Amino acid sequence: MYKIKNINKSYKDLKVLEDISIDFPKNKTICILGSSGCGKTTLLNILLGITNKDSGDIIGFEEDISVVFQEDRLIPWKNIKDNIKFVLKRKMEKEQIESIIDEYFELVNLQEYKYYYPKNISGGMRQKINILRAFLYPSNILIMDEPFKSLDINSKEVLINFFKDLRIIENKTCIIVTHDIDEAIALGHKIVILTDKPTMVKRVIESEGIKDKTELRILIEEELIIKK
């Protein structure tokens, strides 16, 4: 189990996170759901060690972590295959990189895109490549910050299914920050609902045990809207 306990963070007088504690069970997807500006990115940056916390404990996040950001981080002058090689070369031998790329591109049926440049593929396809790269990177934890935010509804659905397929092939503990209820319902084994200003954990829903998605949606909406 990865954990954070009693995390507090302020930027000068602005208290952003107050006493945040979350358990992240291994190999599950945990969606952190909160409104825009509530401190989700701050929380992720604390997990990644990019931002310092004021107090609290972070347990288990010292290892390598794969990250997918809102916007794609592909290098424009490298083709798709070279973009992936560039990240993997820190961690793997050349031959291993070649074989893992071949294997995965075939598994997810993207062979024809290997030699395309980022500018010649759609935004949805670029984010697909970012997600694939994050799964290929040898890590136990994958963190995604609103990965489907700028996509249209169809691309979003395609990408959500792509993510789910990859999760079956390659097990990781996934932490997804989002303000989108549909994403949280579609992806989370566990949904952590945040309040805002200062951000606290309002409710944790073990969504894996709730098979009826309408019931799950009502539970979430009650927290987000009615009990504001």
Interacting residues with ligand ATP (CB under 6 A): 11, 14, 16, 34, 36-42, 179
Give Cα separations from 96 to 92, 99, 101, 139 (angstroms): 6, 5, 8, 16
The whole-angstrom separation of Cα 23 and Cα 185 is: 18
The whole-angstrom separation of Cα 176 and Cα 184 is: 8
Which stretches of 110-227 are assigned E, i.e. beta strand?
A: 141-145, 173-178, 190-194, 201-205
> What single-letter DSSP state applies at residue 76?
T
In the complex with ligand ATP, the residue whose CB is nearer, 47 or 166, is: 47
Nearest residue to ligand ATP by CB is 41
In the complex with ligand ATP, the residue whose CB is nearer, 41 or 140, is: 41
Q: Tell the smallest beta-carbon distance from residue 220 to ligand ATP (Å).
A: 17
DSSP secondary structure of 23-69: EE-TT-EEEEE--TTSSHHHHHHHHTTSS--SEEEEESTTS-EEEE-
In the complex with ligand ATP, the residue whose CB is nearer, 71 or 82, is: 71
In the complex with ligand ATP, the residue whose CB is nearer, 40 or 133, is: 40
Contact 170, 135 (CB under 8 A): yes
Q: Tell the smallest beta-carbon distance from residue 11 to ligand ATP (Å).
A: 3
Query: What torsion, rounded to 10 degrees, do the Cα atoms 182, 187, 190, 196 define?
Result: -40
The whole-angstrom separation of Cα 138 and Cα 146 is: 22
Q: Tell the smallest beta-carbon distance from residue 23 to ligand ATP (Å).
A: 21
Q: Tell the smallest beta-carbon distance from residue 145 to ligand ATP (Å).
A: 7
Contact 41, 177 (CB under 8 A): yes
Q: Tell the smallest beta-carbon distance from residue 36 to ligand ATP (Å).
A: 4
Q: Tell the smallest beta-carbon distance from residue 16 to ligand ATP (Å).
A: 5
In the complex with ligand ATP, the residue whose CB is nearer, 33 or 88, is: 33
Direct distance between the N- and C-terminal alpha carbons of the chain, in angstroms, rounded to an integer: 30
In the complex with ligand ATP, the residue whose CB is nearer, 34 or 188, is: 34
